[in-house]
Structure 1
């Protein structure tokens, strides 16, 4: 379990399975900003329990974001290319009631620090699209650099958007965190 201010990252609790499934596959307001150009592949509760929920319970490649005792979203990591140690992160905060409060920024600060401690990688990346300005702002506030912009490759609701790649190197991350000797958000 990791904490930063009012955010805690922790394994999912058994009794949260239906709550998490509901906010991912039924009441999925988050999908409006999280790659809406890709359809969400619905999973039954059984499939969810065997796949994502199992990862959330193990808390190694996915972990719950807890805000004042409530599971409000989750973080994940995945290999873009494990043979070259290219690790990416993702974040989902379920409802707009929790957006714009820097909760994602705090959660990502904890998660990225944890991943650098536990994985032998020199860089951690995050991919988003130009239709999600809050995620772009969050990445920059974390100290990530815009490393790539592929223009007009995401088509959504009759409009083209850019795909954006952000990344931070281990030494950059450590330097940002050493400024005041504790976990912090830079923005």
Structure 2
């Protein structure tokens, strides 16, 4: 288990699936995590279980716990590129009572440290949509820099929004947060 100041990160367990299922089918959680309601939602518990527990899923997924070891979100990476030592991150604080309180930032810091020091990644990236200012601010606190914009690449609540691409290099992260 990885430990931060406010959060811990551990592998997803079978007991997490009911809560994760609720988040994946929550319009507000999905709006801010992907901007894609309902396109990324309306999954069955079985589909969620396969996505999070099956070793052949589309990425590596972990649970985020608060100080009391209560499940509050998920984090992980996909698009692993071994030659370039890079991957794309994703993070969701599914429990809305933990929004805007630094839990996502803390989880990203400990997870980025893990990827840079244990997996020896050189670079990690992530993306969001331009209306998700809270996420962009949290990502910048971790050290991510805006690297690009895909014009009108997301369709959010009936209108096209730009996708914001962000990246973080190992050297930048370690200079900002240490080992």
With the length of structure 2 as denominator, give the TM-score of the two structures. Answer: 0.85
Q: Aligned ranges for residues 132-171 of structure 1 at < 5 Å? A: 132-171=132-171
Deviations 1:33-91 (CA, angstroms, capped at 9, x unpaired): 12223601543222322331346xxxx92110101221111001011655544311000
Give me the CA root mean square deviation: 2.2
Q: Shift of residue 119 of structure 1? A: 2.5
Give the corresponding residue for 1:11. Answer: 11
The answer for the alignment partner of 2:31 in structure 1 is 32
CA–CA separation in structure 2 for the residues paired with 1:114 and 1:80: 15
Q: Give the aligned partner of residue 131 of structure 1.
A: 131
Superposition pairs for residues 33-182 of structure 1, below 5 Å? 33-37=32-36, 39-54=39-54, 61-67=60-66, 68-79=68-79, 81-82=81-82, 84-178=84-178
CA contact (8 A) 1:152 1:162 kept: yes
Q: Any idea what SS the aligned residue of 1:77 has?
A: strand
What runs of 5+ residues in structure 2 fail to find an aligned partner?
Answer: none
| Structure 1 residues not aligned, in runs of 5+ | 183-187
Compute the TM-score of the two structures, normalised by the length of structure 1.
0.81
